[in-house]
């Protein structure tokens, strides 16, 4: 489904401030796979997501989605294939529009332009049916402005909106990092619900190592632009955070020093 071959990214190449952000990333992601991604600050996690989303053309390598080579496609052209949710709960929604209006826009995003009713009776029922499994009561608040929602409610809605255009791949870029712990757990549960119901292939960046081992079906670790660990579901079973740190040390022959990763359990 997602295929990345020998991906390199060098920013400011040849200049004094050159940064080698990705170093030979090779990755395969199957349909409906839910993969968590961890790594220290500067490991290349967001750069990898930006490359997949099409924010820049990589220095070397190629990216395929559903066997289509999208390496040279701009971001807008990949929008129908890649959904993305960011860390900030206020990113991706229009605060002064209602829940129904926001979701209708998301639903119509990849359709041909034309004049039509934005929120008709049939669509309202469909939106309510989509919101109900999340369990936050948003299906009863379709006419409320998004500005009235909490950060967690808004992030859950953003997640669902990102899935409405039926992307081939969902990128979750630390989408629970700005939330309190209890709300983060609720959104992660909602995430699993949406991913399962929409049958999405998903990559999720997290700084919480316990989350990385608990959620999804596979865990990747990036370090200094390299993919240093790729743990299957079987390899993750019974693995503790300390066990994950030990595996990193075995592979890299160095200690993991990132306090944010080590303290987020």
In a domain, residue 161? The reply is yes
Closest to 174 measured CA to CA, from 151, 205, 203, 201: 205
Please tell me the predicted confidence (pLDDT) of residue 115.
41
Please tell me the predicted confidence (pLDDT) of residue 114.
45
In a domain, residue 124? The reply is no
Pairing of strands 68-69, 60-65: antiparallel
Distances (CA, A) of 130 to 123, 139, 251: 10, 8, 43
The single-letter DSSP state of residue 211 is: H
- With residue 69 as reference, give the H or E element that holds it: strand 68-69
- Looking at the structure of the chain, the number of domains it has is 1
Which pair of tokens denotes residue 11?
């920013």
Q: Work out the number of other CB atoms within 10 angstroms of the CB of residue 117.
A: 9
Please tell me the predicted confidence (pLDDT) of residue 61.
97
Please tell me the predicted confidence (pLDDT) of residue 98.
93
Q: pTM of the prediction?
A: 0.89
In a domain, residue 115? The reply is no
In a domain, residue 239? The reply is yes
Please tell me the predicted confidence (pLDDT) of residue 174.
92
Host domain of residue 219: 2-94+151-257
Please tell me the predicted confidence (pLDDT) of residue 111.
54
In a domain, residue 122? The reply is no
In a domain, residue 103? The reply is no
CATH number of the domain within which 204 lies: 3.40.50.300
Q: Angle CA(123)–CA(162)–CA(192) in degrees, nearest 5? A: 100
pLDDT tens for each residue of the chain, 265 residues long: 899 999 999 999 889 999 999 999 999 999 999 999 999 888 999 999 999 999 999 999 999 999 999 999 999 999 889 999 998 888 878 899 999 989 888 877 655 544 444 567 888 898 899 888 888 899 999 999 999 999 999 998 999 888 888 899 999 999 998 888 888 888 898 898 888 888 899 999 998 999 999 999 999 999 999 999 999 999 999 999 999 988 888 887 677 766 566 556 5
In a domain, residue 107? The reply is no
Please tell me the predicted confidence (pLDDT) of residue 108.
73
Beta-carbon contacts of 231 under 8 Å, excluding residues fewer than 6 positions away, are 218, 219, 220, 239, 244, 247
């Amino acid at each position: 489904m997602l295929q990345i071959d020998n991906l390199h990214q060098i920013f400011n190449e040849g200049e004094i401030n050159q940064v080698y952000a990705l170093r030979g990333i090779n990755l395969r992601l199957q349909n409906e796979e839910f993969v968590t991604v961890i790594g220290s600050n500067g490991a290349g996690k967001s750069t990898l997501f930006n490359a997949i989303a099409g924010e820049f053309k990589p220095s070397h390598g190629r990216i395929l989605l559903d066997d289509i080579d999208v390496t040279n496609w701009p971001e807008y052209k990949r929008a129908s294939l890649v959904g993305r949710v960011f860390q900030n709960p206020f990113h991706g929604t229009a605060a002064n529009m209602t829940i129904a209006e926001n979701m209708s826009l998301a639903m119509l995003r990849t359709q041909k332009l034309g004049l039509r009713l934005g929120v008709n009776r049939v669509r309202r029922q469909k939106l309510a049916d989509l919101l109900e499994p999340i369990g936050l009561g948003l299906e009863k608040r379709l006419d409320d402005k998004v500005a009235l929602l909490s950060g967690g409610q808004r992030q859950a809605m953003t997640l669902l909106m990102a899935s409405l255009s039926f992307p081939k791949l969902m990128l979750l870029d630390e989408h629970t990092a700005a939330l309190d712990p209890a709300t983060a757990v609720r959104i992660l549960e909602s995430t699993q619900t949406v991913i399962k119901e929409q049958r999405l292939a998903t990559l999720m960046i997290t700084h919480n190592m316990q989350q990385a081992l608990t959620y999804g079906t596979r865990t990747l670790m990036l370090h200094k632009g390299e993919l240093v660990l790729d743990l299957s579901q079987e390899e993750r079973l019974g693995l503790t955070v300390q066990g994950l740190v030990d595996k990193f040390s075995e592979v890299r022959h160095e200690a993991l020093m990132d306090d944010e990763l080590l303290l987020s359990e």
